[in-house]
Structure 1
């Protein structure tokens, strides 16, 4: 009687029992006097959905024969976050995480965050714990967009305090919404403070439009080349993404440069839509296939072997037809910040068209996750968050978890490389010449245009001061670099009935 030991509440209240007379499993329940509500939710959700459930002995169905043993395990860490990390998360899992505020987490998936509009990377000085930052881009209509700061600017301190590996989180990502950056310049091979200051304030509930730039360059080797900088797979902006491709179609675009260098992921379905806009609305061809833990895999596929396959799309969720370029190749700009759903686009398109990657190696994240809250009674999909069930979430527990629940493979069974996709044309970003995004002279875009045109006159050398951050601002948003499976998940009712 695997997994369904905790959904009894939803059905027992209705007084149901199955025709076969199968009773409830002997399910351990925590002592109601123990302060383990959050830990109990975490264990139950991970026991059912977690991709590595079979690899964590404490998540086994029979791990705790008695209520007392189960309660003691849940109480072994008083901090729910420490409990999740130390007792539930598999050692090889690099990306599952938790939040003590599910509202903040779910808003982040919609591109909503507390943000001043400056996206940046952080680099550690060689042989020192000191850190400096560089501006990657500025979000329109943000506080930063009104200040004297732009892509390529450098900073070495905050509020007069030198940034270090030990203090940067507190200074840049702390509770204070306002901070003052101490700016710097490159002098020789050094980054040196220049005395200039820029004060920025984070705005609550700021929403980023991920469709950052669209351009068309005409007659590049006889082709009209579209350029799209897309910075997050946010399904609330699928319509805007489709409109961008409508613009490309109207301009006769026959080649595409897709800039995903700072796109760390998001919606799986948005990746499917984007890939369909590039390749075509071929709804009989597989874009991806999901692989879950053994029990979920069997539950989904027992009656329908194709149940876990997603096909290329023909319309956005509202029913509006997709604008598609029907290309046989695409040029994708990448860095180490290119992750999850961005890598899914690369992998999903690989069996069908030529994908030319320009830049540096991607992150290497092919697992997808689900947002889970304390809602064990959700029909067909216990614990999976849905806005319509806000009133059913345990009011005493605002915690959420974002566990990895599966991996995506493409139409030929390739999961991708956990070490990332290696570029076909390697070119690092240059701190001394980051360039203007969308400008044909910006180095990565210029290299892509050269590849399209076939010209060889201009040489592109690896920079002396490469932009290789050890972390970057988006990793400190609640959703980080997760890939989220945003589709209706319903486990077969037949299986649920077996455990009523």
Structure 2
């Protein structure tokens, strides 16, 4: 509901100055019309509008608006031109020519083979790349073909992966992964690690499927107390009721400690992040986060409009809330957006023991803009399927902490060991085992700092769009 309110308020801001420019409907061409949608949407909503001179309200006060639109050959060209410092500041805004695929992805439905993977640069610092299997979706092609967590691959269809070719090799509907072995030489250092092909391969094919983000939940007894464990892989609104059911089970088993595994969670719904955080911390009514928009929108929003609160219900359905004063959260560089939002916004209220590596560093949220008078899905232009997902606000926790562009730093630096990744949900899996040891020993432990390998990409790079954190 809050997003709809923002759309109406922001539209009012836009029409105030758009009425002062020349007639936007004079002899539009299809590309010109699409470019107009791009400019209007970003001029209205874009978080970094104030930093982009071509998005200024008076940019076309003396005319030349149509000539400006015509100077860009495609909506993608104009969109990319208007992004603010895309290599460093805005790494996450994007445009799509097919919003049907976007909507399916937001509901958890994508074209995939069921293999989650990350792509890492070789430990020797070369441009060679290897992939690791993070998890395998049940009843998927990968599952049927025998793919397992911890498998390593360094070639696709017989071609060795590197930073220049991995995108094209993994984008096809069907491909073969050529397996390899990772040897850590029995030491925590990575500079002497090696990856060696083993001659085996597995052929995988993609199909449309819906992923349940609740991959694994368990309850362990540690030092006489019950510990809940949840691997949660995406903040997908369609599974919120199932997430609440998991916490209902935790509550029924008197869980006194929680290990939340977000290591492969690239983000999703802000609303779901609020619900998950609310189920962890009994802070109903307290400030969860605040939002900072561009100056035009910020000036017409009240404090209440830009403030999100912990809650005790989801649309009237009571939440199953654990009253905890500490939570253990597992991360990698793939933990992004809404995952980081949970960590950052729980931190002022409880002891967040962050185990793993630095996170991705995305503190901004986006919204889907359609080519309609008020940018909503209703009455979208039927002649095309373009939509935009620009960054529209940045998030702050209740103490004002934001701008963590380099990621959130863990309390315990512990990258995954690609030579021994363990089994998800098993007490001996290295990251989970570390959390359980801390619980067992009352956090009286020290761990060596281990340098993580460079993340090059992961499975989300091969989806139609990159969702991130959205309203």
Kept in 2, the 8 Å contact 1:216–1:248? The answer is yes
Residue 137 and residue 462 in structure 1: after superposition, are their counterparts in 2 closer, same or farther (change >3 A)?
farther
C-alpha contact (below 8 Å) 1:283/1:313 kept by paired residues: yes
Q: How many angstroms apart in 1 are the aligned matches of 2:434 and 2:18? A: 65
Per-residue displacement from partner, 1:305-342 (whole Å, max 9, x unpaired)? 3222111111123x321001111110100111111101
Residue 190 in 1 paired to residue 194 in 2?
Answer: yes
For residue 130 of structure 1, report the CA deviation from its aligned partner: 2.6
Distance change (3 Å), C-alpha of 1:269 and 1:127: closer
* 331-340 or 180-189, larger mean C-alpha shift: 180-189
Decide whether the 8 Å contact of 1:3 with 1:47 is kept in 2.
no
1:435 CA drift (Å):
0.8
Contact residue 89 and residue 96 of structure 1 kept, 8 A: no
Q: How does 1:133-172 map to 2 (within 5 A)?
A: 133-172=131-170
How far residue 159 of structure 1 moved from its aligned partner, in angstroms, is 1.6
- In structure 1, the partner of 2:458 is 472
The aligned counterpart of 1:236 is: 238
RMSD between superposed Cα atoms in Å: 2.3
For 2:103, the equivalent position in structure 1 comes to: 106
SS at match of 1:300: coil
5+ unaligned residues in a row in structure 1: which ranges? Answer: 9-21, 377-381, 486-500
Q: Report SS of the residue matched to 1:151.
A: coil
The residue matched to 1:83 in structure 2 has which SS? Answer: helix
- Structure 2 stretches of 5 or more lacking a match? 1-9, 186-192
Q: Distance in 1 between matches of 2:351 and 2:401?
A: 16
Number of aligned residue pairs: give it.
450
Asked if the contact 1:224/1:254 (under 8 Å) is kept, the reply is yes
Deviation of 1:373 after TM superposition, in Å, equals 1.0
Q: 1 CA distance for matches of 2:47 and 2:444?
A: 50
| Superposition deviation, residue 415 in structure 1 | 2.1
Residues 1:76 and 2:71 aligned together: yes
Question: What's the secondary structure of 2:455's corresponding residue?
Answer: coil
Q: Counterparts of 1:107-126 in structure 2 under 5 Å?
A: 107-125=104-122, 126=124
Deviations along 1:381-417, one digit per CA (max 9) or x if unpaired, are: x2144xxx2xx11012311111000011122222252
Post-superposition offset of 1:462: 5.9
TM-score normalised according to structure 1 size: 0.85
Q: Secondary structure of 1:36's partner?
A: helix
CA contact (8 A) 1:289 1:410 kept: yes
Kindly indicate whether the alpha-carbon contact (under 8 Å) linking 2:110 and 2:210 is maintained by their aligned counterparts in 1. yes
Quote how far apart the aligned CAs of 1:109 are: 1.2
Is 2:112–2:206's contact at 8 Å kept on the other side of the alignment?
yes
Aligned to 2:6: none
How far apart are the structure 2 equivalents of 1:73 and 1:3? 22
State the Cα distance separating 1:186 from its structure 2 match.
2.7
TM-score of the two chains, using structure 2 as the length reference: 0.90
| Superposition map of 1:453-464 within 5 A | 453-454=440-441
**Cα pair 2:262 2:331 within 8 Å, conserved:** yes
| Offset, 1:183 | 1.2
| 1:276-328 CA distance string (max 9 Å, x none) | 11002x43211111111111112121xxx3222111111123x3210011111
Structure 2 matches for 1:295-306, cutoff 5 A? 295-301=296-302, 305-306=303-304
Note if contact 1:46-1:53 (Cα within 8 Å) is conserved in structure 2.
yes
Contact 1:279 1:324 in 2 (8 A): yes
Find the structure with the greater CA-based Rg.
1
